[in-house]
Structure 1
């Protein structure tokens, strides 16, 4: 086992395993492989695992685990939002489980060159893969209104307009290309309030990372793919780390379980409403214990939601769910 995997502490591991209830020979997709913590535990329970990760570095680092699995692990460089295409390419049948651990991995946070962390001076990259626009590209190309919307809607940053205005003013002479340049500017124009323990740039960095990687869109596409691929009685488990992610998972599962739907009398010829596709057990979300947070501070904001697939046909995504993944429409927005 690699040193990276030995250091990695999967969040809510016991609770995720309890939610998935892996069995000998069962087929489970780990859609966010990272350092392989969930995958290793699933293999230890006798499951067959298909693991996905959009980060080529994570895939390269997992060679020993693939070899040790003796054919029970297939690792694919792919986004979990593309799970259906991966399943088709691999010829997978119905799945017994899907687990998603949303957001940036510990390995990515600890690798300075990736530009995810405020702790290191690094290029403003923030891509989980190796294609697409970087955070520096967004700050160079987008207008003030779009940057403010990204910070407010994806980072819940109260000072979004002030920070966006400073970004646009400063880039006229010196475009932002490094993490510490951006962090210092935010500390200057929107310093931390008294009593705040986090760096004032934390929410801006979160927002840019979400925008760069389309994390909320990927999450919703992954949930929809799991609904289509899980067998009846198959299980879905999702670990989130901030309110934007948790809101999408909560509302998706609420809509799929029929929660809050009032019974209605159908008119003659009116089609019946789609039946619920998931059962959502009570007592959610599940949060880490004090002992886990003490041992692994990164678990502090984690929430686990899980559900059990019923035999109703999958449903189309509705506009209300899709709206949660996008910036609000604005006339004249640059693309």
Structure 2
């Protein structure tokens, strides 16, 4: 969940105070900067530019010569950030590209970002996206049932809701939303769509929440269904699994101070966090052979060292300022420096 917060770092004030409006507040901005340690002359990748807050501060902290490659699948987000950070683009310190982060290796090579000192993935959705009813991510305001980050994707949430079988819908809602009522919700969706297509967020929210009492301040009973469909539409988990090995390959052996290059990943639900945790753990391990084998036959070598043994979470003060940060988890790993 990215956004601009120019009050965090006085070094960036002159360059960020003039860069337009965004609804976002960057999640764990100070922690990200502390772990990634941006420095002058370094190369950094923000694989999920969003509102541009993390990107702006990476640029500020790596002044005057650090460079950032910013990737986002949402063209509207890139348009907003290109306007706000136009000075960095002109100075050839920021390159923005449209694409999904699962294409990171190819996009980085094309942009000349080889041997990167730090990589960030913020897997949350920005407030600019969530609060726009026309994007269809939330049900707080009625809008078209879309949920596509990249409008070039062929299948929207409405397409999925109106064409998938009852079993497919139940599986999606259970797998990606961990919703215990998945079968009942899928059954109601199929029943409702038999009379008319479900095309609005308010319609789906009503179906998903049917029969469940809701107390303001608690999690809305349609939340997990919306999460599941959004993940499915945007192939979020598959893309995360695809990019992790690419990140490891793109990281330099060391940063400009001789310290290990690092990757920082912010997740917002347990499915994402589990994938990141397991990947970091596996790549921090040498032999992966079953314990019963007397000698190693896999040839696997550890490539990463886990920096955060437990995920870093937002402070109470940050959550009070930005309630959407409450579920965020930050994990960090660094490239093992070969002798």
TM-score range with shorter-chain normalisation?
0.7 to 0.9
Q: Tell me which residue corresponds to 1:123.
A: 144
Give the deviation of 1:218 after TM superposition. Answer: 1.3
Distance 1:272 1:117, change over 3 A: closer
Match of 2:188 in 1: 166
Matched with 1:330 is none
**Bigger shift: residues 67-76 or 270-279:** 270-279
Q: Aligned-pair distance for 1:67? A: 2.2
Tell me how far 1:228 sits from its aligned partner: 1.2
The corresponding residue for 1:12 is 28
- Per-residue CA deviation, residues 183-202 of structure 1 (Å, 9 max, x unaligned), is 112222x4146797121100
Does 2:75 correspond to 1:56?
Answer: yes
Residue in structure 2 matching 1:303, options 295, 318, 329:
329
| Cα separation, 2, equivalents of 1:257 and 1:310 | 9
Cα distance change on mapping 1:259 and 1:151 into 2, 3 Å: farther
1:38 to 54, 59, 66: 54
The equivalent residue for 1:106 is: 127
Match of 1:317 in 2: none
Instruction: Report the Cα offset of residue 3 of structure 1.
Output: 3.7
Aligned counterpart, 1:137: 159
What SS does the aligned partner of 2:334 have?
Answer: strand
Q: Which of 281, 284, 301 is the equivalent residue of 1:257? A: 284
Secondary structure of 2:40's aligned partner: coil
What is the aligned length?
Answer: 309
Matched, 1:288 2:309: no
Q: Distance in 2 between matches of 1:250 and 1:244?
A: 10
C-alpha separation in 1, matches of 2:229 and 2:38: 36
Cα separation, 2, equivalents of 1:181 and 1:288: 34
Q: Structure 1 residue 283: deviation in Å?
A: 4.1
Number of the residue aligned with 2:40: 24
Task: Please name the residue that 1:242 is paired with.
Answer: 269
What are the superposed Cα offsets for residues 101-138 of structure 1, whole Å, 9 maximum, x if unpaired? 00322210011100001111111000001122000000
Q: CA deviation at 1:219?
A: 1.2
Q: Hey, what's the Cα distance between the residues in 2 that align with 1:200 and 1:14?
A: 33
Paired residue for 1:328? Answer: none
Q: 1:95 aligns with which of 98, 116, 119?
A: 116
Partner Cα separation in structure 2 for residue 106 and residue 273 of structure 1: 44
What whole-Å deviation, never above 9, does each CA across 1:236-285 have from its counterpart, x for those lacking one?
000000100100000000101118968969768x6463211101124420
1:187 to 195, 198, 209: 209
Q: What is the distance in 2 between the residues matched to 1:287 and 1:174? A: 43
- Say whether the 8 Å CA contact 1:66–1:74 is kept in structure 2: no
> How big is each residue's C-alpha offset from its partner over 1:268-307, in whole Å with a ceiling of 9 and x where there is no partner?
8x64632111011244200011000001101100000000
Unaligned runs of 5+ in 1: 313-335
Q: CA deviation at 1:21?
A: 0.8
Aligned to 1:154: 176
Aligned to 2:257: none
SS of 2:118's partner is: strand
User: Distance between the aligned counterparts of 1:87 and 1:136, measured in 2?
Assistant: 34
Query: 1:156 deviation in Å?
Result: 0.7
Contact in 2 for aligned 1:192/1:199 (Cα 8 Å) = no
